[in-house]
Amino acid sequence: MNSYEHTLITKQDLQENQAKTLISKYEEIITKNEGKVLKTEEWGLKNFSHKIKNNKKGFYFHIKLEGTGKTIFELEKAENIDQMLIRFLTVKVKKHDLDKTYFEKKDT
């Protein structure tokens, strides 16, 4: 199995319960298609440098997973038709760093 990092951006008006439902939907797609979710991170609401599909902000989610080409194909096929997503990106990595969280939510 290969190691992947998958980042997706949703619209800013996404409710918290909708976000949990959306992430669990994609985690289920991964596990149904010979994949394994190692870690899911919520990076929060971030500003874009320019408008993307008439949006200035978006919620970022990051999934570290192991899977095959079929896993990624089915995941991206489902995401292409999802109206709540703005963008997504899958990157193949050599090794996962599960200890470090790059965009931790800061409690102020």
Local confidence pLDDT in tens for the 108 residues of the chain: 899 999 999 998 888 899 899 999 999 999 999 999 999 999 889 999 999 889 999 999 999 999 999 999 999 999 999 999 999 999 999 887 666 666 666 554
Give the up-direction half-sphere exposure of residue 104: CA atoms within 13 A in the CB hemisphere.
6
Write out the residue range of the structural domain in which residue 69 sits.
2-88
Assess if residue 49 is contained within a domain: yes
b/e 8-31 (16+ beta carbons within 10 angstroms → b): bbbbeebeeeeeeebbeebbebbe
Q: pTM of this prediction?
A: 0.85
Distance CA 16, CA 64 (A): 21
Indicate which CATH number applies to the domain containing 8: 3.30.70.60
Domain count of the fold of the chain: 1
Q: Which two tokens stand for residue 70?
A: 């079929």
Assess if residue 44 is contained within a domain: yes
